[in-house]
Structure 1
Amino acid sequence: MAPTIDIVRHAESYHNLIGSEIPDPTITKRGERQCEALRHKYPFGDKVAYIISSPLRRAIETALKAIKPLVNDAVELILLPELQEINASPSSTGSSKVALQFLYKGLDLSALSDDWHLKGSDTPFAPNVEKVEARAKVARNWLRMLALKLVEDGNEDAHIVVVTHGEFAHWLTDDFIGVDYGRNSGWYVCEFRSYQFLKLDAPENEDVSLVETHESLRRRGVDPDKPYVAPDGRDNARLKRIASITVQIHERVLADREFQQQQELETRGVVPDEESDEAWVDIDEDADKENKGSAGTLRLHGA
Structure 2
Amino acid sequence: MAPIVHLVRHAQGYHNLSTENHSLPDPDLTDLGKQQCADLQKNFPYHSQVELVVASPIRRTIYTALLGFEPVFQAHPDTKLICLPEAQEASDAPCDTGSDPEVLRKEFEGNKIPVDLSLVQDGWNSKTGKWSPTPRALRKRAREVRRWLRSRPEKEIVLVTHGGILHYITEDWEDYSAYQGTGWTNAEYRTFKFSDTLHKEDLEGKPLEDSDDATLVETPESRQRRGQTPEPPSREEMRALYRKGLEEWTEEEPRDEAKVPEGQEIDGARV
TM-score when normalising by structure 1: 0.72
- Residues 11 and 187, structure 2, Cα contact 8 Å, conserved in 1: yes
Measure the CA separation in 2 of the matches of 1:135 and 1:56: 16
Out of 104, 107, 121, the position equivalent to 2:115 is 107
Out of 175, 179, 194, the position equivalent to 2:176 is 179
- Residues 202 and 208, structure 1, Cα contact 8 Å, conserved in 2: yes
Match of 2:263 in 1: none
1:148-178 deviations in Å (ceiling 9; x for gaps): x23xxxxxxx310000101110110100110
Measure the CA separation in 2 of the matches of 1:13 and 1:145: 31
Do residues 90 (structure 1) and 94 (structure 2) align? yes
Unaligned 5+ residue runs, structure 2? 201-209, 258-271
Q: Cα gap change, 1:250/1:80 in structure 2, threshold over 3 Å: closer, same or farther? A: farther
What pairs up with 1:1-303 in 2 under 5 angstroms? Answer: 2-18=2-18, 19-71=21-73, 72-105=76-109, 106-120=114-128, 123-146=129-152, 149-150=153-154, 158-180=155-177, 184-199=181-196, 205-225=211-231, 228=233, 235-245=237-247, 248-249=250-251, 252=254
Measure the CA separation in 1 of the matches of 2:197 and 2:115: 27
**Which residue identity is paired with 1:170?**
H
Measure the CA separation in 2 of the matches of 1:200 and 1:240: 19
CA shift at 1:237, angstroms? 2.5
CA shift at 1:53, angstroms? 0.5
Measure the CA separation in 2 of the matches of 1:196 and 1:93: 29
Unaligned 5+ residue runs, structure 1? 151-157, 256-303
CA shift at 1:206, angstroms? 2.3
**Which residue identity is paired with 1:174?**
E
Q: Cα gap change, 1:182/1:217 in structure 2, threshold over 3 Å: closer, same or farther? A: closer
Measure the CA separation in 1 of the matches of 2:244 and 2:29: 28
- The structure with higher relative contact order (CA 8 Å, sep 6+) is 2
**Which residue identity is paired with 2:239?**
A
Between stretches 213-222 and 185-194, larger displacement belongs to 213-222
Measure the CA separation in 2 of the matches of 1:254 and 1:210: 26
Measure the CA separation in 2 of the matches of 1:132 and 1:51: 22
- Detail structure 1 runs of 4+ shifted over 6 Å in the superposition: 200-204
Between stretches 56-65 and 102-111, larger displacement belongs to 102-111
Measure the CA separation in 2 of the matches of 1:212 and 1:14: 29
CA shift at 1:182, angstroms? 8.3
Measure the CA separation in 1 of the matches of 2:102 and 2:119: 13
Computed over aligned residues only, the root mean square deviation of the Cα atoms, in angstroms, reads: 2.7
1:174-221 deviations in Å (ceiling 9; x for gaps): 001101398521111100000011139999832221000122112222
Q: Cα gap change, 1:10/1:250 in structure 2, threshold over 3 Å: closer, same or farther? A: farther
Measure the CA separation in 1 of the matches of 2:44 and 2:107: 26
- Residues 129 and 248, structure 1, Cα contact 8 Å, conserved in 2: no
Between stretches 105-114 and 236-245, larger displacement belongs to 236-245
1:239-295 deviations in Å (ceiling 9; x for gaps): 21233246644954579xxxxxxxxxxxxxxxxxxxxxxxxxxxxxxxxxxxxxxxx
**Which residue identity is paired with 2:214?**
V
Measure the CA separation in 2 of the matches of 1:101 and 1:245: 39
TM-score when normalising by structure 2: 0.80
**Which residue identity is paired with 2:244?**
I
Q: SS where residue 69 of structure 2 aligns?
A: helix
The percentage of aligned residue pairs carrying the same residue is: 35
Q: Cα gap change, 1:91/1:75 in structure 2, threshold over 3 Å: closer, same or farther? A: same
**Which residue identity is paired with 1:134?**
K
Measure the CA separation in 2 of the matches of 1:138 and 1:190: 23
Q: SS where residue 60 of structure 1 aligns?
A: helix
Q: Cα gap change, 1:200/1:245 in structure 2, threshold over 3 Å: closer, same or farther? A: closer
